[in-house]
Structures are given as C-alpha cells and as structure tokens.
Amino acid sequence: MLLTFTKAIAQSDLKQSEATPATTKINESIYSQLNFADTLDIADAHRGFIATIADGIIKDENGRPIVNTKLFDFIKGKSPATVNPSLWRQAKIGNINGLFKVADGIYQVRGLDLANIAFIESNTGYIVVDPLTNAVASSVAYDLIKKYVKDKPVVAVISTHSHSDHFGGIEGVVSAADIASGKVKYITPAHFFDEAVSEHVLLGNVMGRRAGYQFGSSLPISEKGQVDAGIGKAYLGTGAKSTILKPTDEISSTGQTLVIDGIELVFQITPDTEAPSAFTFYVPSKKAYFPADITLRTFHNILTPRGAKARDAKGWSKYIDESIDLFGKNVEVIIPGHNWPVFGQEKSISFLEKQRDAYKYLHDQTIRLANKGLNADEIAEEIKFPEELSKEWYLREYYGTVAHNAKAIYQYYLGWWDGNPADYNKLPQTESAKRYVEWFGGEKEALKKAKIAYGKGEYRWVAEVLKHVVFANPKNQEARDLQASAFEQIAYQSESGIWRNIYLTGAKELRQDISNAPLANQAQKEKWERALNRLSPENIFDLLAVSVDGKKAEGKKLTLRFNFTDKGKNILVYLKNGVLNYSLARPEVVTEFSISLPQEKFAELFSRPENAIAIFQSPDVKFEGNPVKLKELAQYLDLASTNWNIVTP
C-alpha cells in the first residue's frame, strides 16, 4: 500500500568496481576539509542511552528478519576508499540505536527504522510521536519502553506529517479499533489523510520503484553498498504492513493547543515544507520542541529523489524562523523525526538559525541566478554554501544536496523547461540515443572515447555519454558495465547517502538485467487488497481511476453502482471518454450493474477475482444487473509492474 522496500533481486555475488585512484584521492582529501576532531554531535547521539534489542534483529509475523542492526557493524574505524569519509562518519553515528531518555518524561527509540519514534509520558500513559513505518518495529520500540521505563498504555498518537515513516506503524502501538472508537486520540495536521493517500497510494507504484533507488533496497549492506540513508538506516522491512488511519483530531492553525492526559502541546502548522500536510509542536512542561522533519542533523530535500511535490524553500525557512519566535526562548531540547536530538538552549537556537538560513540562502541564490539567465543545471553547479553553514555537521549533504535542491527550487517557480527551444520538445530517449550514437561514430567509437574519459576520472561525463549507447542498444554489456563503473565511482565519492544508493542501484541493474526478474505477485496482491480495505470509498475510486488504461477504454461506456453497506456510501461509477468518474449525488441514474456489499468484500472482489462466485453468494452481498459489466471494468484496469526499467529503455 505504501512504500514497500523489497529485494527484487537477490543479494547475489555482484562484480563491482574498486575505488579508482581518482576516487581514492578525492575521498582522502575530505579529511583535511572537515573538522573530524569535532565530536560534540557524537556525544549527543549517545546521551541518555538506556538499552537496545540484544541481538539487533526484528522479525515479522512469519519469522522473516526485517531489521538487523548488526549488518552495519562493519562501519567502524577509518572509512574505506569506497565511501566518502563524511558519510562514513554519519553512518557510524547512525549505528547508535535503541531506547534513549532525551528529557524528563520523554523517550526516543532510534535506529530500528528509517525514522524515530518518541514517547511522552503523561499522567496515565504515553503519547506516541511518529509511530515508524511498520507495526513490527513500532511494537518492538513500545516493548523497550515498557520493559525499561514503565508499562503504561498509549493514550494518544501523533503523526507530525503525511509520510509513511511517521504513521505506517501505528498498529504496533494501538489498535485501529481504539482509534476508530475515539478511545485513543490520533492527532495529525489538517489534510493529513488525503495527502497520505495521494502520495503513497495514487502514486505508490512509481514512488515505490524510485524509493528502491533512493534507499538502496536491492543493494548489499557493505563497504561497496548501502551504508546509511543520511537520515537513518533503510532496512529491508521498512515498509512492511504499513497502515493509514483516519485521525480523530486535526490541527489546522498555529498556536492551537491540546491537553492530552495532563500534557499540554502547542502546535505550529508548517504545510508544504517537508510534507504537504505537516506540523511541529512544543511541550512547555518539558521545554521540548518536536520539529518533525523540517530540521534534522543533515540538510534535507526540497524535492525528494523518489518523487513528490516540490517543496517551498522560502516557506520552509520562514517556518523555522517562526518556531524560534514561538518556542526558542524556552526550548532546552530539539527532538527531530530522524537522527538524534540537539541539547541545550544556546545550541538549539544556533541549530535552528543555521537550518533556517541554509534554506533561505539556497532559495535566494537560486532566484538571483535564475534572474541572471542561468538554467537549473548551471545554477546547481554555481551555488555553494558559505563556510559558516557548510562547516556544521548538521548541514552536510547526507540526505538533501545543494545541487539537487537548487534544481528543485528552479522547478518550483519555473517548471522543468529552461527556456531554450531546443529543450522544449526533445525526442524520446531511445530515439535520440540512436542518433547520438550514430553521430559519435558508432558504439565502438563511443566506448573508446568513454574509456579514455573514465581513465581521466570524468565519471559524470562517462555516465552521460554511455546512457545514449545503452539506450540505443541495451544488449551492449560492455557499455553497461562501463557506465556501471562510472556510477560506482560517483557513488563512492558521494557525501549523500541517497545519492550513493541511487548510483549503486543503477550500477547493479546495469550489471544484472532485471527485465526477467520475478515480481512479488503475492505481495503486490496483498498490498492492493490492503489498500482497498483501508481507503475511503471515494479514495478507492480515485485509485481505480488512475489505473484505467485510456486506450483500452476508448469508446467504451459503463455505468455501475457500488453501495458500501458498512460505510453508508452509495457511489455511482461511470466510464466514458476513457475516464472513470464517480458521484455520490445521482441516485436517479439507472445503472447496468449495481452491488451492495461491505468494503471488505469489495476489496476481496477486486484483488482476488477468483473468489467472485463465493462473494456473490455471500448473505451480505446483493446485486442487480449483469455481473459481466464488473468484469469488463476490471479488464480496463492496468496494474503497473513494480519492476519497470530505469537505467535501460
């Protein structure tokens, strides 16, 4: 349903490049550029440690390990030539995992998922903040606090924003029934549910595929593979059995307060920063500020590589500034949704100010250079942070990067086009690639020149040139291998954990053809059924609408009605002009087929059509008209492969 990071290809032996002399030299130079003697943030990461899971392993209900913190134990000592030393340092700090006391009555579990989960002790229980991506990890985190602090019930859950690593594991700490009944409050920013559905369901397939690149889900965990995502560890099971639940309480304005079981919370709405629906909050009695993901121990993404709506860098900066005005004079600890806390009033203010200025600097300089006529690529090459920002470990490019974010800001204001007519309506990649190769003098000549460039350490250029050769002839394994080697050298030099993952995953797929790799059909079927069970009826038909193959549906007309008896929703669905629409307001329309059933049976019907006869015979299912019309609708649905090509045509 959400971003499920699966191993599409087994972690088999894979021939990879060694670090070249050029890469080794560049990585070695990092030691003289940054202050590795500064270890204050390392001390902060250890502060308040209580305990962790002994063997480092978390298993799902089928006994499958989905988290194994011990896999990263090789990250110690000096960095190898195949990893940027700055990223290696971040990865070592990211290895510090377990339960921590971060303030009086506030605890945090880190390192068991990509994100953190926090527990605020209230009068009779716990307020859980950001319950991770999957229920198994959040349940283990809850077990830790019950074992080492107090065994108390959950009285409320907070999701600070609409990304799955901050809500997907909610059923590991509380049941969906307790949320639905109001027994346990579920507090989110306004529009949370719709934004979560939009990003993780409607676009879940494409984002899931790209997320596999961003988080290196098919990579071995090794010195030549995945070491860290910059904001945490991206484990195999990070997206297993994630859930979206509707909130009981939505926060819609800055300054709004709630008192939950004796604990006052003061909220700040921060939309279109790290997520379209987002807030931060302050706990006055603890002098603790929860900034969600708008300030972390790394520079963040204005546009995440997995794909999302571009974010408002100027607004992001202003919200951080507003948080200083709202909470700064009293805050003693900042507890982010990833990485580790910031302790102390003076350090907290400096941290917030420099985070604010990083986003504002990049925004203002991008706009300045755009107004001078530079395009996105040129701006990305031009901008560098001033030393007072770049020297801070918490503004290094472990996750977001200056280059990528400058392009995102350009896109946010100006779109993808750079103004040059030659770039406005370019040929498709495969067609243009064939012509490029012809102009290069053929594949052999292109490869010959690429090898010379590779020997000079011009890896970005080699990657660009060989893309044309590979797209012109994807069977040219020599070109694929050389482009893969170029990708690997770029990865080894990357300070950003996700840049590293992106390039290494591309290299792996060039060396191992994935076109015939087995798809996780059963998992895909279960994910589809889970989505149809959890979504609102309206959201269901939004999802089905974007699954319609317009060419197949061209010239076809269908009119159906679905009455969800357990939801009180009677929905007219009609296919016309290649488009699936729905309405709750046209009871007079006569349909070709109508069916009344619980949502659970609807989900089973569409995800497991082999059960159709049994479903139609169920006592809680009634229908009129021709059931073949339902089958006809299903024939127009195109459920996309989760394994489509990226580095090849």
What per-residue confidence (pLDDT) applies to 621? 96
pLDDT at residue 619 tops 70: yes
The region that residue 644 occupies, defined by phi over 0 for left and psi between -120 and 50 for alpha, beta otherwise, is: beta
Taking phi over 0 as left and psi of -120 to 50 as alpha, with beta for the rest, 230 belongs to left
Phi, psi of 185 (to 5 degrees): -75, 140
The boundaries of the domain holding residue 545 are 521-635
Which alpha helices (H) appear in 198-261, and where do they start and end? 204-214
pLDDT in tens, 340-359: 999 999 999 999 999 999 99
CATH number at residue 530: 3.30.1050.10
- pLDDT confidence tier of residue 236, bands split at 50, 70 and 90: low
**DSSP for 98-119, written as a single string:** EEEEEETTEEEEESSSSS-EEE
Segment 583-616, tens digit of pLDDT: 998 888 999 999 999 999 999 998 888 999 999 9
Domain endpoint, select from 395, 411, 434:
395
Residue 515 has pLDDT above 70, yes or no: no
Does residue 269 sit within a domain? yes
Using the 3D structure, point to which of 395, 419, 445 is the last residue of a domain.
Answer: 395
**What is the CATH classification number for the domain harbouring 352?**
3.60.15.30
Return the pLDDT at 5.
32
pLDDT of 9 reads: 32
With a CB cutoff of 8 Å and minimum separation 6, the contacts of 283 are 106, 120, 263, 264, 265, 266, 289, 290
**pTM, to two decimals:** 0.92
Look at 22-36, 98-112, 125-139, 511-525 and tell me which has the smallest mean pLDDT.
511-525
Residues 390 and 525 in one domain: no
465 occurs within a structural domain: no
Whether 239 shows a pLDDT value over 50: the answer reads: no
Instruction: Taking residues 213-222, report their average pLDDT.
Output: 94
Residue 5 lies in a domain: no
The kind and range of the H/E element at 66 are: strand 65-68
Assess whether 527 and 391 both reside in one domain: no
Is residue 633 scored above 60 in pLDDT? yes
> What are the tens digits of pLDDT across the range 543-579?
999 999 999 999 999 999 999 999 999 999 999 999 9
Token duo for residue 333: 């600890």
Distance between terminal CA atoms of the chain?
27
Per the CB < 8 A criterion, the answer to whether 141 and 117 are in contact is yes
User: Does residue 538 share a domain with residue 391?
Assistant: no
In the three-class reduction of DSSP (H, G, I as helix; E, B as strand; rest coil), residue 504 is classed as helix
Domain check: are 384 and 530 in the same one?
A: no
Q: Is residue 497 part of a domain?
A: no
In a domain, 422, yes or no: no
80 confidence band (pLDDT: 50, 70, 90): very high
Q: What is the pLDDT of residue 65?
A: 87
Q: Calculate the average pLDDT of the chain.
A: 92
User: What pLDDT, in 10s, does the model give residues 146-155?
Assistant: 999 999 999 9
385 and 247 co-located in one domain: yes
Establish if 513 belongs to a structural domain: no
Helices 477-493 and 443-455 meet at what angle, rounded to 10?
A: 20
Out of 395, 428, 462, a domain closes at 395
Of 402, 90, 112, the C-alpha closest to 229 is 90
Specify if 511 maps to a domain. Answer: no
Residue 517 has pLDDT above 60, yes or no: no
| Rounded mean pLDDT, 111-131 | 97
Neighbours of 314 (CB within 10 A): 16
Give the pLDDT confidence score for residue 521 in this predicted structure.
53
User: What is the predicted pLDDT for the residue at 516?
Assistant: 52
Q: How confident is the model at residue 524 (pLDDT cuts 50, 70, 90)?
A: low
Whole-number pLDDT of residue 3: 33
Please tell me the total count of domains within the chain. Answer: 2
User: Where does 133-212 show beta strands of DSSP type E?
Assistant: 154-158, 185-189
Q: Look-up: residue for tokens 């755009």?
A: 370
Contact between 300 and 400 under an 8 Å Cβ cutoff? The reply is: yes
What six digits make up the tokens of 105? 């009555």
Q: Which two structure tokens, joined as six digits, stand for 99? A: 């339960």
E-strand ranges in 363-486 read none
- The proportion of the chain whose per-residue pLDDT surpasses 70, expressed as a percent, equals 95
Buried b (16+ CB within 10 A) or exposed e, 470-482: bbbbbebeebbbb
Partners of residue 333 on adjacent β-strands: 288, 343
The answer to the question of residue 623 being in a domain is yes
Q: Is pLDDT at 2 greater than 50 in this prediction?
A: no
Task: Tell me the sheet residues that pair with 282.
Answer: 266, 289
The pLDDT assigned to 8 comes to 33
Cβ-proximal residues to 65 (8 Å cutoff; 6+ apart), any chain: 57, 58, 59, 236, 237
Do 389 and 536 lie in a common domain? no
If you average pLDDT over residues 462-487, what whole number do you get?
A: 97
The answer to whether residue 372 scores a pLDDT higher than 90 is yes
